[in-house]
Structure 1
Amino acid sequence: MRKEKNMGLFDIIGPVMIGPSSSHTAGAARIGLAARRILGEPVKKAKITLYGSFAKTGRGHGTDRALVAGLMGCTPDDTRIRDSIHLAEEQGISIQFAFSDEDMGHPNVAKIEETGISGKSVTVVGRSLGGGRILITSIDGYDVEITGEEYSFLTRHHDVPGIVADVTAVFAKEHINITTMRLFLRNKNDEAVMIIHTDRHISKALCEEIKNTNSNIISTLSLDLI
């Protein structure tokens, strides 16, 4: 079972945002923004599937506009959220919406199947937890847990011995403190995802250096949503 952080005082007060809803608008914008940063490039097209309360009442609360704004790089306080769908059309970004009755285990869930300008594609599933907080729960079918409240570093790699040792050795050399680390595996000897939360940003250059330390590392990503 996923462990979700208890709400604090500033979560109750709420985020700086374009309204009307911290769950349906601010949280949705952060999910879209997370998806864009996971893709790592501008979005050319996206299919967005809404579940639960997002599907039933999301449009009235601006969930659709907020998700699209996030995909365009907007933060929850960006005034362009209100016109994001129109702006996406002007920029030639193709957006398709779908609505599902499937039970995703949470009332505010969105799945974003996105393609970037280079043709790269990724599928991201996220949920809005309230107060503008989010949890990314899946990337390309891998179960993950990313809140965006810490600096996050991800590797996608073959499940072989030595990956953790090679990656953490680079962090030790650069004096980067690891706060938490988790591994997500589909099947034994299959591909896996490692998520490391750190006390500071991991640069693109360091991501590339880590990738080159072991031929079994398929890709690396530094994800900053703070």
Structure 2
Amino acid sequence: MKYKSVFDIIGPVMVGPSSSHTAGAARIGRVARSIFGRQPEKAEITFYGSFAKTYKGHGTDVATVAGILDFDTSDLRLKDSITIAKDLGIDVSLTTAEELTEHPNTSRIRLSDEKGSTEVVGISIGGGKMEITEVDGYSLKVTGSAPTLMVLHDDRFGMIAGVSNVLTKYQINIGHMEVSRKERGKHALMVIELDSTIEDKVLHEIEQMPHIVSVSLLVPNP
């Protein structure tokens, strides 16, 4: 096995006890918060598999909520995150499910307020790393290791070329791209991993394109 850095061997800087059940869970929560784009009024969290069996002992519950509060994995406030969330007026609910999932360390997070909601499914794959496998019912793969552009758009011809042309205009290189849709001719979600982050003016230009529903940028967590 090849390692990209020493942190792949010794794990992340984190509040313990487990890189998979604590740090990975916190990063899932933090990406969910980033996709939602603001502090939620309600956070509904469901744990599956190993998460469901050991979430209290391994701190998966407080870690996930800490991520939703946008705390880093090394933030000492992690252990008090549920109390902090309640003090901020966030309604937090924690449940478990016996439903079998493809990965044992799986969580489903639904964040909502009066403006709308976002539902994210993530898995903790070890060493503090995670993957987002679903957003609002769209299947995808987001690791959070690179700046990631997420574009929800009408499922029409030319959309991929249009977004790519904007990125080319600003000399932004695409590392990986995938498109997911629930039903042909409705909406589709374009997920693009970039070699560098992008300025707000680029996001704005993409937002102004015809048939674009929403645009968001996920910046890598520390």
Structures share fold, TM-score greater than 0.5: yes
Partner of 1:20: 17
- 1:218 and 2:213 equivalent? yes
- 1:71 and 2:68 equivalent? yes
Amino acid of the residue matched to residue 20 of structure 2? S
- 1:138 and 2:134 equivalent? yes
Amino acid of the residue matched to residue 141 of structure 2? E
Q: How does 1:81-92 map to 2 (within 5 A)?
A: 81-92=78-89
- CA distance in 1 between counterparts of 2:187 and 2:28 reads 25
Partner of 1:148: 144
- Residues 126 and 7 (structure 1), Cα distance of their counterparts in 2 relative to 1, 3 Å cut: farther
Any conservation in 1 of the 2:167–2:202 contact (CA below 8 Å)?
no
Partner of 1:108: 105
Amino acid of the residue matched to residue 70 of structure 2? G
Q: Which of residues 153, 157, 162 is equivalent to 2:153? A: 157
CA shift for structure 1 position 189: 1.2
Q: Which of residues 193, 196, 200 is equivalent to 1:200? A: 196
Moved over 2 A (4+): 5-10, 202-205
Query: Could you give the per-residue CA deviations for residues 43-98 of structure 1, whole angstroms, max 9, x where no partner exists?
Result: 21111000001000011000000000000010111100011011111111110011
- The alignment-based identity, stated in percent, is 43
Q: How many residues get paired?
A: 220
Partner of 2:187: 191
Query: Could you give the per-residue CA deviations for residues 197-217 of structure 1, whole angstroms, max 9, x where no partner exists?
Result: 11111233321210212x211
- CA distance in 1 between counterparts of 2:81 and 2:187 reads 36
Any conservation in 2 of the 1:24–1:58 contact (CA below 8 Å)?
yes
- Residues 73 and 187 (structure 1), Cα distance of their counterparts in 2 relative to 1, 3 Å cut: same
Provide TM-score, normalisation by structure 1: 0.93
Alignment RMSD: 1.5
**What are the ranges of 5 or more consecutive residues in structure 1 without an aligned counterpart?**
none
**What are the ranges of 5 or more consecutive residues in structure 2 without an aligned counterpart?**
none
- 1:94 and 2:85 equivalent? no
Query: Could you give the per-residue CA deviations for residues 96-117 of structure 1, whole angstroms, max 9, x where no partner exists?
Result: 011001111111001001114x
- Residues 170 and 125 (structure 1), Cα distance of their counterparts in 2 relative to 1, 3 Å cut: same
- CA distance in 2 between counterparts of 1:159 and 1:20 reads 44
Any conservation in 2 of the 1:18–1:26 contact (CA below 8 Å)?
yes
CA shift for structure 1 position 7: 6.0
Provide TM-score, normalisation by structure 2: 0.95
Partner of 1:62: 59
CA shift for structure 1 position 185: 1.8
Amino acid of the residue matched to residue 50 of structure 1? F
> What is the SS of the residue equivalent to 2:24?
helix
- CA distance in 2 between counterparts of 1:63 and 1:203 reads 34
- Residues 55 and 191 (structure 1), Cα distance of their counterparts in 2 relative to 1, 3 Å cut: same
- CA distance in 1 between counterparts of 2:66 and 2:200 reads 25
- CA distance in 1 between counterparts of 2:83 and 2:201 reads 36
